[in-house]
């Protein structure tokens, strides 16, 4: 569906406006789809994100700053996200012995198991949208988005 149909536009829009709306709306579609997936496992999208970041640390714990700077939505409240994950015993949180200002957050086995369970579902979610594009088109989309963003 073209973006004009999505928002039922009555007048023609400029190309810049169409692109913005297209990006906003596409993110919305992806986000809702993703939300359904993680919600079925009692996670919010951002909670999943934190778990994924922690797994990427390969055993090494991460402090709050590190988690924050690796998140896509940079303004999330990391403290409260980790609070929720702690309650579900998916992560641990301890004061860093070298620097007591910092916290060491690590994923638990339970957390790793949950991610493993989610992996194939997430993968197919990612591929679901991509499958309509050729590899060449995928590369182009990626490049154009990066070029666009760096204004």
Binding site for a second copy (CB under 8 A): 1-3, 6-11, 14-32, 56, 69-75, 123, 126-133, 135, 137-142, 144-151
Nearest of 151, 147, 150, 141 to residue 26 by alpha carbon: 141
Contact predicate 149/72, CB 8 Å: no
Contact predicate 138/128, CB 8 Å: no
Is 77 or 140 the residue whose CB approaches DNA more closely? 77
The one of DNA, a second copy, none whose footprint includes residue 89, by CB under 5 to 8 A per kind, is: none
Cβ atoms within 10 Å, residue 134 = 9
| Contacting DNA within 87-116 (CB under 7 A) | 93, 96, 99-103
Is 55 or 84 the residue whose CB approaches DNA more closely? 84
* DSSP 8-state class, residue 130: H
Is 100 or 149 the residue whose CB approaches a second copy more closely? 149
Is 76 or 118 the residue whose CB approaches DNA more closely? 76
* Choices 7-15, 75-83, 129-137, 138-146 (CB under 7 A): range interacting with DNA: 75-83
- Record the tokens describing residue 71, joined without a space: 């998140």
CB of 39 to DNA, least distance (A): 6
Compute the distance between CA of residue 21 and CA of residue 12 in angstroms, rounded to an integer. Answer: 13
SS3 content of the chain, % helix, strand, coil (to 5): 65, 5, 30
For DNA, the binding residue among 22, 35, 92, 108 (CB under 7 A) is: 35
Nearest of 23, 14, 87, 76 to residue 50 by alpha carbon: 76
Residues that bind DNA (CB under 7 A): 35, 39, 44-47, 63-65, 68, 73, 75-82, 84, 93, 96, 99-103
């Amino acid at each position: 569906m073209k973006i004009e149909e999505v928002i039922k536009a009555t007048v023609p829009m400029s190309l810049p406006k169409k692109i913005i709306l297209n990006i906003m709306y596409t993110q919305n579609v992806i986000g809702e789809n993703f939300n359904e997936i993680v919600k079925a496992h009692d996670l919010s999208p951002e909670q999943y994100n934190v778990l994924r970041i922690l797994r990427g640390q390969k055993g090494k714990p991460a402090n709050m700053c590190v988690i924050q700077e690796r998140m896509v939505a940079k303004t999330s409240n990391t403290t409260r996200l980790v609070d929720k994950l702690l309650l579900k015993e998916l992560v641990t949180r301890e004061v860093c012995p070298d620097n007591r200002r910092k916290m060491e957050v690590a994923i638990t086995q339970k957390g790793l198991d949950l991610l493993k369970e989610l992996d194939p579902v997430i993968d197919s979610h990612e591929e679901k949208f991509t499958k309509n594009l050729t590899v060449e088109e995928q590369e182009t989309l990626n490049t154009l988005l990066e070029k666009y963003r760096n204004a």
